[in-house]
Structure 1
Amino acid sequence: MDGLQFFQQSAGDWKSLRTTHHLPFRRAETGGSDIHVEALDAQDSRISEICQMHEVDPATAVGGAFVSWDGAMEWDQEDEDHSGTSVFSLVPDENSPQKGKLLRERGYAEVVPVIGQYHIDHEEALVLITDYETMSINERFWFPHPDVRLRASTVKRFGGLSTATFCAEIRTDQAETSAEKTTTSEPISSFWGW
Structure 2
Amino acid sequence: MDVMEFFQQSTGRWRSQRTTHHLAFRRAEAGESEIQVEALPADHPKIVEICQLHQVDPARAIGGAFVSWKGAMGWDRDDDNHEGSTVFALIPDAEQPRQGTLLRERGYAEIVPVAGQYHMDDENALVLTTEYETMSSVERFWFPNPSLRMRTSTVKRFGGFTTATFCTEFRVADATDTSSASEQTPKTAETKYFSFLGW
The residue that corresponds to 2:148 in the other structure is: 148
TM-score (normalizing by structure 1): 0.89
**How large is the Cα RMSD of the aligned pairs?**
1.0
The residue that corresponds to 1:54 in the other structure is: 54
1:169 partnered with 2:169: yes
TM-score (normalizing by structure 2): 0.87
- Alpha-carbon distance, 1:26 to partner: 0.2
- Alpha-carbon distance, 1:21 to partner: 0.2
- Alpha-carbon distance, 1:133 to partner: 0.7
The residue that corresponds to 1:43 in the other structure is: 43
Match runs of 1:54-93 below 5 Å: 54-93=54-93
The residue that corresponds to 2:158 in the other structure is: 158
2:11–2:174 contact (8 Å) kept in structure 1: no
The residue that corresponds to 2:134 in the other structure is: 134
The residue that corresponds to 1:110 in the other structure is: 110
Question: Could you tell me which amino acid in structure 1 is paired with residue 116 of structure 2?
Answer: G
- Alpha-carbon distance, 1:147 to partner: 0.2
- Alpha-carbon distance, 1:109 to partner: 1.5
The residue that corresponds to 1:20 in the other structure is: 20
Question: Which residues of structure 1 form unaligned runs of 5+?
Answer: 177-194
- Work out the CA distance in 1 between the residues paired with 2:118 and 2:170: 23
SS of 1:5's partner is helix
- Alpha-carbon distance, 1:96 to partner: 1.8
Higher helix share: 1
- Alpha-carbon distance, 1:175 to partner: 5.0
2:18–2:167 contact (8 Å) kept in structure 1: yes
SS of 1:172's partner is strand
Question: Could you tell me which amino acid in structure 1 is paired with residue 11 of structure 2?
Answer: A
The residue that corresponds to 1:180 in the other structure is: none
SS of 2:8's partner is helix
The residue that corresponds to 2:185 in the other structure is: none
SS of 1:9's partner is helix
- Work out the CA distance in 1 between the residues paired with 2:133 and 2:84: 21
The CA deviation string for residues 106-158 of structure 1, in whole angstroms up to 9 with x for no partner, is: 11221110001000000000000011111100000000010000000100000
SS of 2:24's partner is helix
SS of 1:77's partner is coil
Runs of 4+ in 1 over 6 A off after TM superposition: none
The CA deviation string for residues 86-122 of structure 1, in whole angstroms up to 9 with x for no partner, is: 0000000001221000001111221110001000000
The residue that corresponds to 1:122 in the other structure is: 122
